Amino acid sequence: MRVHAKRAGALLGGLMFPAWSQADWTLNMRPGVTGISNDIFSLHMTILWICVAIGVVVFGVMFWSIFAHRKSQGHKASNFHENTVVEILWTIIPFVILVIMAIPATATLINMYDTTESDVNIRITGYQWKWQYQYVDDNFGYFSNLATPPDQISNREDKGEHYLLEVDNPLIVPVGKKIRFLVTSNDVIHSWWVPEFGVKKDAIPGYINETWAKVDEPGIYRGQCTELCGKNHGFMPIVVKAVPQPEYAAWVSDQKAAAEKERELTQKDWTMEELVARGEKVYQTTCAACHQPDGSGSPPAFPALIGSPVATGELAGHIDVVFNGRAGTAMQAFGKQLSEVDLAAVITYERNAWGNNMGDMVTPKQILDYKKQQQ
Amino acid sequence: MSAVADTHTQEHHHGPARGFTRWLLTTNHKDIGTMYLVFSFTMFLLGGSMAMVIRAELFQPGLQIVQPEFFNQMTTMHGLIMVFGAVMPAFVGLANWMIPMMIGAPDMALPRMNNWSFWLLPCAFLILVSTLFMKGGAPNFGWTFYAPLSTTYGPPSTTFFIFAIHIMGISSIMGAINVIATILNLRAPGMTLMKMPLFVWTWLITAFLLIAVMPVLAGVVTMMLMDINFGTSFFDASGGGDPVLFQHVFWFFGHPEVYIMILPAFGAVSHIIPAFSRKPLFGYASMVYAVGAIALLSFVVWAHHMFTVGIPIAGQLFFMYATMLIAVPTGVKVFNWVATMFRGSLSFETPMLFAVAFVILFTIGGFSGLMLAIAPSDFQYHDTYFVVAHFHYVLVPGAIFGIFASAYFWLPKWTGHMYDETLGKTHFWLSFIGMNLAFFPMHFLGLAGMPRRIPDYALQFADFNMVSSIGAFTFGATQLLFLFIVIKCIRGGKEAPAKPWEGAEGLEWTLPSPAPYHTFETPPEVK
């Protein structure tokens, strides 16, 4: 009884005061931390105030009529119904205002499109439902996934401060450098948006869109995917950490070393237990969004893996589907997304998890051989 | 009274048929108009209940009521049903009822086609709504159905959705042909084009827009159909196709489409404001030219929906300037309405309340539209709740308030009874408060960075989402009151005179209330 009462109380409290302490009543756009975002902010404010001024005049006249020219006050209607001078004036004046507004807008736009002379080049690839960041100058890259636990989303746990705006691996960029983003997609259209940078660019399969940012202040900046991209569209945030140049340089050399180490792992002799353990982690970050954490899938779009003809069929067929994807379906080609080790691990895991007791395994070396055959 | 048929001698074969066949087989513009309006209101409630599901899920952060898959189906179906099922048929219904009576015609020019174009609509929407019960669910890719989300990644029901779009497109095109044929051929002697009532003018221009763009919509969904079922790659980059092509073609339809949903409301409001200001419309000719200018410009602004897809800067600048230009004719219309009210003799019955709210709130939607037109700023607004706020401000207090204003204005003519003025005003004020509470905070949410079409959101968006949901529930529940008011008005009430509004002008008010089944069998003379 008391438990029920407590639950009811908590539910009521939750309904009345939803995360009250963390919510804020923000009314306006924030200026941001790049030159472009500041330019956009001042354009936004200029246009807003022009609209307010026009609104005050137009609605002012209207409300004056509403109060002063009422029939109930005995006001008699005039009969005028045209006035050429007035009509020409209120066509020309708005036109002039528009021209005045277009000038700074054009200048800002030209600046936004100037992606030349960049210091750092980062390729951003949208996937359902995560981002891949590749540092094309330094030859390493990684995926960035939502880090909010599912229990917070389904309200079984209190929500954290950065609920839905937190990732496992943020994008790291140096401050004070011109960073060029090359934005594309692997499947459907996504859109990469960091409000504080004033950067929003659609990630479109078959296109590489360019945009840029020069971050003035170190800090952590958060954004989200802004183009509907399927069921987890609301769950693929963007987190960018801007750090001073020396820190950035140190981080880059660490990443390069780690990438090298990862490549060496392929040559190691793996046991089945090791592969299954690693495979479970890979599965949860890469596959679970569609095939579900327990392998049950959500048919018909995303088939179950429990007892599936692929996961319990011939090994070669399983490798082929994971490596090359299934044309015309949502199943992507993971051959280029995952390392040999992760591919071997996740395939081994799928063949031996949830009662799919196939008892066989595939090693990273075998995957590497398969990769060579494919080329 | 020569305008009214001498029903005495012709009653035996000119009255409405009895029972269901009256509605199934009718070729009478008034019956068909009524069916369009009833259908539209049914769809309005259906699409509205989907909006209630959306707002209930967004009441609080976290997933409570529906899963993301179903949430996406709700946003998609809400948009499709409201655009194609509620707003467009409502205006066709108003056109059917009013255009023949306004131009002194006995009926629409093509009455049998009129019947067919109506009855296609319930068929199309039966197909569309049935997708909710199919394996894999209803379309879940947004009402803009961008490829490849809607092609390669779409649910199996997408093909049914395409078929439904084709059928409603055919219906719209036939409706438009009928309107044009009626207006150009059946005007009473003496009614020159520049003497036509503005509702007729705006519908004439709307009908041309419909004929121009509905085939484009049909083309784009046919290309989708080929991509999905016949192995083509129009929109599939891996087959040499182009996902951006989809957006160009879709918005070439989509932008004129938004004017299709607002121009007839402009026309209706241009009747209502002079009537309750007891003063002629200010600047009739400039109103006509402004509508024509808006319609022409609507064909060259489509890419302002696509500022973030990476079109070249020359294109970006062109579409920004062209879009900003639309503010000029739209401004002229607003100034004209205000000038009509200025030094009039105003009274505020329900149609006038809705019309004045239309002018004010549509102008607010126009302001946010102007802000969105500025391409650099659009990078921050695009696909956020700021856009959701913008188009709901032009569609709800624009199109929908325009429809309500028209309904209250002409209900006495249709039913022969006055509606209940107190209830009508209650409906207005609750709608007004609910609508602003629902949609105004969305501006703040968008500027704070909340993307649209998400089923769950970060905690800083919690407060305004809750306010918005409360407003939406208020607005939604209030619409049941409208149903009650209309039923009450049909069943009885104070008898309406031929011209219930002191300042109203036009041929429709020369007819008795309710308008007889057949009117203007002998055309009236217009001086």
Intra-chain end-to-end CA distance of chain B, in Å = 17
Q: pLDDT tens digits for A328-356?
A: 677 888 887 888 889 999 999 999 988 88
For chain B positions 230-259, those within 8 Å of chain A (CB to CB) are: 237-238, 241-244
pLDDT score for A23: 52
- Do B176 and B272 lie in a common domain? no
Between positions 160 and 219 of B, the ones with CB within 8 A of A are: none
Last residue of a domain, one of B199, B234, B261: B261
- Write down which residue in B208, B233, B261 finishes a domain: B261
In the A/B pair of chains, how many CB contacts fall below 8 A? 302
H helix intervals, B6-81:
7-14, 20-25, 29-57, 68-80
Is B452 known to be catalytic? yes
Instruction: Return the residue matching tokens 């549509």.
Output: B362
Q: pLDDT-derived band of residue A4, with 50, 70 and 90 as boundaries?
A: low
Identify from B379, B386, B452 which residue to disrupt to test chain A contact, counting A C-beta atoms within 10 A and taking the largest count.
B379
Nearest-CA residue of chain A relative to B448? A29
Residue B364 lies in a domain: yes
| Closest by Cα among B67, B78, B61 to B476 | B78
**Tokens 């949609």 belong to residue:** B439
Q: Of chain B residues 30-89, which have a CB less than 8 A from chain A?
A: 60-64, 67-69, 72
Q: Are residues B181 and B209 in the same domain?
A: yes
Q: Quick check: is B442 in a domain?
A: yes
Cis preceding-peptide flag for B148 (omega within 30 of 0): yes
Of A185, A61, A56, A74, the C-alpha closest to A129 is: A185
Is A204 an interface residue toward B (CB < 8 Å)? yes
* B220's tokens: 């784009």
From the candidates B40, B75, B131, B171, give the one annotated as an active-site residue: B171
Residues B318 and B462 in one domain: yes
Find, in chain B, the residue whose alpha carbon is nearest to that of A160.
B459
Q: pLDDT tens digits for A65-104?
A: 999 999 998 888 888 888 999 999 999 999 999 999 999 9
CATH at residue B224: 1.20.210.10
- B459 contacts A161? CB cut-off 8 A: yes
Q: Look at residue A24 and tell me whether its pLDDT is greater than 80.
A: no
What pLDDT does residue A301 have? 76
Catalytic residue status for B304: yes
- Give the number of C-alpha atoms closer than 13 A to the C-alpha of residue B86, restricted to the C-beta side: 24
Interchain pair B237, A153: CB under 8 A? no
B61, B243, B458 ranked by CB distance to A18: nearest: B61
Is B143 known to be catalytic?
yes
Say whether both B250 and B296 belong to one domain. Answer: no
Is there a contact between B346 and A112 if contact means CB atoms under 8 Å apart?
Answer: no
Handedness of CA B146, A303, B65, A187 (dihedral sign): negative
Can you give the pLDDT at residue A14? Answer: 46
Beta strand ranges found along B238-282 (DSSP E): none
Residue B2 inside a domain? The answer is no
In this structure, the answer to whether residues B234 and B277 fall within a common structural domain is no
Q: What is the pLDDT of residue A358?
A: 86
> Are residues B340 and B200 part of one domain?
no
User: Who's near B99: CB < 8 A, 6+ residues apart?
Assistant: B105, B108, B179, B182, B183, B199, B200, B203
**Residue pLDDT tens, chain B, 527 long:** 344 444 444 444 567 878 888 999 999 999 999 999 999 999 999 999 999 999 999 999 999 999 999 999 999 999 999 999 999 999 999 999 999 999 999 999 999 999 999 999 999 999 999 999 998 899 999 999 999 999 999 999 999 999 999 999 999 999 999 999 999 999 999 999 999 999 999 999 999 999 999 999 999 999 999 999 999 999 999 889 999 999 999 999 999 999 999 999 999 999 999 999 999 999 999 999 999 999 999 999 999 999 999 999 999 999 999 999 999 999 999 999 999 999 999 999 999 999 999 999 999 999 999 999 999 999 999 999 999 999 999 999 999 999 999 999 999 999 999 999 999 999 999 999 999 999 999 999 999 999 999 999 999 999 999 999 999 999 999 999 999 999 999 999 999 999 999 999 999 999 999 999 999 999 998 87
Q: Does A342 touch chain B (CB under 8 A)?
A: no
Question: What does the pLDDT read at residue A21?
Answer: 43
A112 in contact with B at a CB cutoff of 8 Å? yes
The answer to whether B270 is a known catalytic residue is: yes
Catalytic residue flag (residue B12): no
Beta-carbon contacts of residue B90 (< 8 Å; ≥ 6 apart): B36, B37, B40, B41, B44, B403
Spot the catalytic one: B31, B75, B76, B107.
Answer: B107
Q: Is position B1 within any domain?
A: no
Cβ partners under 8 Å of residue A216, min gap 6: A33, A34, A35, A175, A176
Half-sphere exposure of B480 (CA within 13 A, CB side): 5
Least confident of A287-291, A364-368, B1-5, B203-207: B1-5
- For residue B152, the enclosing domain spans 30-261
What pLDDT is recorded for position B11? Answer: 45
Question: Residue B425, class by beta-carbon neighbours within 10 Å (0-12 exposed, 13-18 middle, 19+ buried)?
Answer: middle
* pTM for this prediction: 0.89
On whether any CB of chain A is under 8 Å from the CB of B364, the answer is yes
Amino acid at A270: W
Structural domains of chain A, with CATH? 35-64+84-113 (no CATH), 120-150+164-256 (2.60.40.420), 268-374 (1.10.760.10)
| Domain contains B21 | no
Distance from CA of A297 to the nearest CA of B (A): 12
Catalytic residue among B131, B323, B330, B363: B330
Assess if residue B24 is contained within a domain: no
What is the β-pairing status of strands A237-243 and A199-203?
Answer: unpaired
Query: Do both B231 and B301 map to the same domain?
Result: no
Identity at B41, one-letter amino acid code:
F
**pLDDT tens digit sequence for A139-181:** 899 999 999 998 999 999 999 999 999 999 999 999 999 999 9
Q: Which residue of A has its CA nearest to B142?
A: A228
Residues A206-237, buried b or exposed e (16+ Cβ, 10 A)? Answer: bbebbbbbbbeebeebbbbbbbbbbbbbbbbb
User: What residues of chain A lie within 8 A of the CB of B283, using their CB?
Assistant: 81-82, 87
The reply to whether B410 belongs to the active site is: no
Judgement on whether residues B253 and B297 belong to the same structural domain of the protein: no
> Is the predicted pLDDT of residue A270 greater than 90, yes or no?
no
- Within 339-358 of B, beta carbons closer than 8 Å to A belong to 339-347, 356
| Position B526 in a domain | no
Asked if B252 and B239 sit in the same domain, the reply is yes
Q: Which of A259-263, A284-288, B471-475 has the highest mean pLDDT?
A: B471-475
Tell me the CB-side half-sphere exposure of residue B388, using CA atoms within 13 A: 27
Q: Which of B261, B288, B318 is the last residue of a domain?
A: B261
Q: Specify the number of domains making up chain B.
A: 2
Bridge-based pairing of strands A171-174 and A237-243 is: parallel
Based on the fold, state whether residues B341 and B371 are members of the same structural domain. yes
What is d(CA A109, CA A126) in angstroms, rounded to the nearest whole number?
Answer: 25
Q: What is the pLDDT of residues A193-242, one digit of tens each?
A: 999 999 999 999 999 999 999 999 999 999 999 999 999 999 999 999 99
Domain shared by B278 and B248, yes or no: no
Q: Are residues B341 and B218 in the same domain?
A: no
* Nearest residue in B to A101, CA atom: B374
- The minimum CA-CA distance between B355 and chain A, rounded to whole Å, is 13
Residue A16's pLDDT band (cuts 50, 70, 90): very low
Q: How far is A144 from chain B (nearest CA, A)?
A: 18
* Catalytic pick among B29, B279, B305, B518: B305
Could you count the other beta carbons within 10 Å of the beta carbon of residue A100?
Answer: 11
Q: Which of residues 257-276 of B touch A (CB under 8 A)?
A: none
In B, which residues are within 8 Å of A81 by CB distance?
A: 279-284, 340
**Closest CB to A227 among B152, B383, B459:** B383
Task: For chain B, state the CA radius of gyration.
Answer: 23
Q: Is residue B316 part of a domain?
A: yes
Determine the Cα angle at B425 with ends B421 and B426, to 5°: 115
Could you give the CA distance from residue B370 to residue B364 in angstroms, rounded to a whole number?
Answer: 10
Q: Give just the sign of the alpha carbon dihedral A174, A180, A185, A188.
A: positive
| Cβ contact B96:B519 at 8 Å | no
Q: Which residues of chain B make contact with A300, given a CB cutoff of 8 A?
A: 135-136, 156
- The residue of chain A with its CA nearest to that of B323 is A98
CB contacts, 8 Å: B374 with chain A: 43-44, 47, 101, 105
pLDDT band at A246 (very low <50, low <70, confident <90, very high): very high
B150 catalytic residue (yes or no)? no
